[in-house]
Structure 1
Amino acid sequence: MTVRVQAEDFDVGAEYAALTAGRSSVGGVTLFAGLVRDIAGGEAVSAMTLEHYPGMTERQLEAIEAEARRRWPLDDVLIVHRYGRLEPGDQIVLVATASAHRDAAFESCRFLIDWLKTRAPFWKLEATPEGERWVEAKGSDDEAAARWAE
């Protein structure tokens, strides 16, 4: 397991290589990389600043990762989430799951993203032509996370 919260960008190829190095038991890896969009809610976005609560954020991401491992047979999991000021096109998050079976890799990756969006303590401030605004929670994110209720 690797959970990192960092200001620095990440290299998806290098992260994939590290995740799979020497793992002949892995049959599938699913990766999700989230990027900053230049439009949100129909408005232009010139930047997004992500804030978090150090320590608490990592613990919550580790708890989400532990729940994924409880539900699926995973060989490894990687969660990298950035904070700080990001511009459109910048990478925000990388979630990768490795498993002997593709279904477990796909489902667990989607689960991790859905729960991360609703349970990880990050706050997003968007810069728009009209000024800055805090991003509100979306009902669609809550609905996506609810599909994983047991």
Structure 2
Amino acid sequence: MNRAHRRHSTRWPQRGVYAIEFAFVFLIFFSLLYGILSYGMLLTFRMGLQNAAEDGARAALRYKPTPPERAAIAIQVATQRSQWMPSVVRPLEVTALCSVAGAAAGPCSTATCTSSVAWDQRCQIIVTVKAKRMELLLPPILSFALPSQIAGQASMLLGDPP
């Protein structure tokens, strides 16, 4: 009986080791999984905004003859393409700026949107789609490490009006 008691008492200090090891391994794997999910969601939303901005910039190339009309159609298309975003982050901030490319930046007119001017002085349109309040959309555990705003931006040189 003394021998059985001794065998049982040597195992006693090892009983909680498995629970402690499980706790450490679980924390590591949970943190890794949480990081992958959060980054994946953020990357998905960011790429969606980028695609909406690119579609808006492409729309400005083919529809309207004047730069303000091109900017208006770019905003309309970019807004339409970003309607899939959850309502928590809407309304999105969609802007389209028509300016002269290069060092001589300034507002563009129909005269600067022709192919007769140099490449660095041609009109360009810059479409930006921003989503704010991302902290309400992403999981809240490590919200300090995630951005509160993401944006997609695209620019195109404008050619001759159609």
Using the size of structure 2 for normalisation, the TM-score is 0.29
Structure with the bigger percentage of helix: 2
Structure with the bigger percentage of strand: 1
Using the size of structure 1 for normalisation, the TM-score is 0.31
Larger radius of gyration: 2
Bigger RCO (CA 8 Å, 6+ sep)? 1
